Structure 1
Amino acid sequence: MSDLFVVRSLEEVRFWSRIMKEHSFFLRLGFRCEDTTLINEANHFYRTFEGIERRALAFTDDADPATIRQFNIEVHTSVCHIWAFKRKVLGLILTCQLPGGTNFPLLVDHVSREANYFRKRLEELNQGQLEPLHDAIIDENVFFLRIMADHAKFIGHLLDPSERKLVDQARDFSHDFDQLLFQARDIESMRPQSQTGPILSQFLDQNRVSVKSLRDFKKTARDLIDQCKIKSIIHPLLADHVFREAERFLEIIDMFEKSLTGKNNTWIHH
């Protein structure tokens, strides 16, 4: 179990510390040049999570569990701080104290939800108490379906309005994922009666189809942005960032499918 704890911890920290580092960069891009205090805070968080990512990559899977548990506690503290920073920024935007900035309130809320998810995962790992599989399937899908729905909305709003076909596609994905999210919340409220093998299996299959389509759309958009073939204000790193999160969701769906069919029990819980 210790080995699995180390492997899972490092895997989560490597993925999410990079995401937190990039969030700091995106937020900074959206601040006005006179917002020097916020820019400095964003730069501080960028350096913090860059350091965490570097340390996580330096550990090996046979690291001492006690060392990793301590590392998780340190990371947790930094994640709590970036979460508070994101909520502070959201408050400033919603009270009209940052007019002319380009961070959408929903984007700031979105990145704070991801910080909260990361924080909770670190707590669960250190306590050795990941959710039971059937609960995790529903909760993870509710979380990630909303993230994907948000991504589609951001892409639609950051593409140039003259990219009409791509804007329409982004809007279609937004609608599709909103519907999947409503379905997931219905299954969530029908718990525990809804937690049968066939229902959860169909739930995962249906979500996988849509996530794959969105992942492919994001990959195409990323490649077109890299080649400067479409008009947008999307930073190339943002295009890659949302693509990686869709890939992550697909990996999680696959892991759940294997755990559900008993082919693999990678979801640790007590």
Structure 2
Amino acid sequence: MKDYAVMSLDLHLFFARIMKEHSLFLEAGFQAKDTCFIKKAASFREQFEKILEEAVQMANGFVSASVLESGEIVTEFTRPAECKTELLTGIPINSRITEKEMCLTPAFRVSGNRQKYRIVSWLNQRALSLVEQLIAFKEEILENVSVCRLFTANYPLLIKHILREAKLYRTFLKELVMKGTISDQCIYDTEKFWNQIMMEHALFIRGLLDPSEEELIAAANGFAQDYKKLLCHARTQNCRTMDEMTQKALKETEKYRDFKAAGTKGITECKISSIILPLLADHVLREANHYLRILEQEDYKAGGRCGTM
């Protein structure tokens, strides 16, 4: 079994950053009059940044090589995207965390370390409490948006999207806190979740590109349709007949990753017309890299058991 500390820190390095950035995107999307929502989103951004910073401080020598190599923690665009996003929004971003992440070394023959276990265990409990609060906040936003009591520049579907990601983080944290491990997920459930996430990314990209970017809009729409087909075809599969679907998802996500990487570069360098924040572009690129790592890992290829995420 993977070491508890490594498993926990792998999780936080990806998801704590994702939650921090969700909070930033929410903060940037509110109107000036909605100061209560702006302050609350800023508070979550700051708290998840602290969780991420603590995870990074503990992660050197306690993080999986596959996670470090996947591009799900940081990419070559993350630092410039953070700087450009801070400039555009005025929202402070601690890019020193990113610099430290780029210097992390992987775990090697990790042995039990009681002090590390206690510190990581406490971090897991704090992260679980915080993500529970963030889920409630996102649900509050969604409820207010749905009855036209609140306007935000973020699509209602995007709020539902980031809510599902927060709930997945909560599921993993609960397992770590209660069982000390994260159970293998069914291939069907995992691919259904991430194929939907990838499809929605394409829909958001399509809708946030400037209307003049016709080729990119068409390409984004094509990816949305491809993932929609994967989701439809998966309904006829089960955990014993998913090999072919997994290969299709892998090939599609490799192409999509390349599209997102080119888009992130273009948006960060101001060569693509859009209302996409540079950090949002890098954010969805890292999620594609995360999904690719899952699809490529050997124990996943061997097949997970059936169950619900």
Aligned mates of 1:157, 1:260 — CA distance in 2? 34
1:74 and 2:126 equivalent? yes
In structure 2, C-alpha distance between the alignment counterparts of 1:82 and 1:158, rounded to whole Å: 25
Counterpart AA for 1:243: L
Rounded Cα–Cα distance in structure 2 between residues aligned with 1:56 and 1:201: 35
Verify: 1:106 aligned to 2:150, yes or no: no
Contact in 1 for aligned 2:264/2:278 (Cα 8 Å): yes
CA shift for structure 1 position 73? 1.2
Instruction: Name the structure 2 match of 1:230.
Output: 272
- Whether 1:195 aligns to 2:217 is no
* CA separation of 1:185 and 1:72: change in aligned 2, threshold 3 A: farther
1:124 aligns with 2:175: yes
Residue 166 of structure 1 pairs with residue 216 of structure 2: yes
Match of residue 213, structure 1, among 255, 260, 278:
255
Structure 1 residues 55 and 129, CA gap change in structure 2 (3 angstroms): closer
**Alpha-carbon contact 1:145-1:180 (below 8 Å) kept:** yes
Q: Which runs of 5+ in 1 are unaligned?
A: 188-193, 266-270
Q: Report the counterpart of residue 188 of structure 2 in structure 1.
A: 138
Deviating more after overlay: 63-72 vs 239-248: 63-72
Distance 1:18 1:185 in 2: 32
CA displacement, residues 101-157 of structure 1 (integer Å, 9 cap, x when unaligned): 21100000101100000000111223145334xx53221111111100010000000
Q: Could you say which residue in structure 2 is the equivalent of 1:14?
A: 13
Tell me the residue number matched to 1:93: 145
Contact 1:25 1:42 in 2 (8 A): yes
* SS of aligned partner of 1:161: coil
Q: Distance in 2 between matches of 1:69 and 1:181?
A: 36
Tell me the distance in 1 between the aligned counterparts of 2:160 and 2:212.
27
Q: Give the alignment's TM-score, normalised by structure 2.
A: 0.77
The percentage of aligned residue pairs carrying the same residue is: 38
RMSD of Structure 2 on Structure 1 (CA):
1.8
Q: Closer, same or farther in 2 for the Cα pair 1:167/1:259, shift >3 Å? A: closer
The answer to whether the Cα contact below 8 Å between 2:51 and 2:123 also exists between their aligned partners in 1 is no
Q: 1:259 to 1:97 in 2, by over 3 A?
A: closer
How far 1:203 sits from its partner (Å)? 2.2
CA contact (8 A) 2:230 2:245 kept: no
SS at match of 1:15: helix
Distance 2:236 2:43 in 1: 41
Question: Deviations along 1:3-45, whole A, 9 cap, x unmatched?
Answer: 6221111100111000000001101111111110000000000
The code of the aligned residue for 2:54 comes to R
Q: Which amino acid aligns with 1:115?
A: A
The within-5 A match list for 1:148-159 is: 148-159=198-209
Structure 1 129/50 Cα, relative in aligned 2: closer, same or farther at 3 Å? Answer: closer
Q: Does 1:39 align with 2:38?
A: yes
Query: 1:177 — aligned with what?
Result: 227
Write the distance in 2 (CA, Å) between the matches of 1:204 and 1:212: 12
1:169, 1:147 → 2: CA distance?
17
CA contact (8 A) 1:79 1:115 kept: yes
**For the Cα contact (< 8 Å) 2:295–2:301, is it kept in 1?**
no
What is the number of residues matched between the two proteins? 250
One-letter code aligned to 1:72:
N
Of Structure 1 and Structure 2, the greater helix share is in 1
Partners of 2:294 and 2:300 within 8 A in 1:
no
SS at match of 1:64: helix
Aligned-partner Cα distance in 2 for 1:186–1:84: 34
Contact 1:142 1:185 in 2 (8 A): no
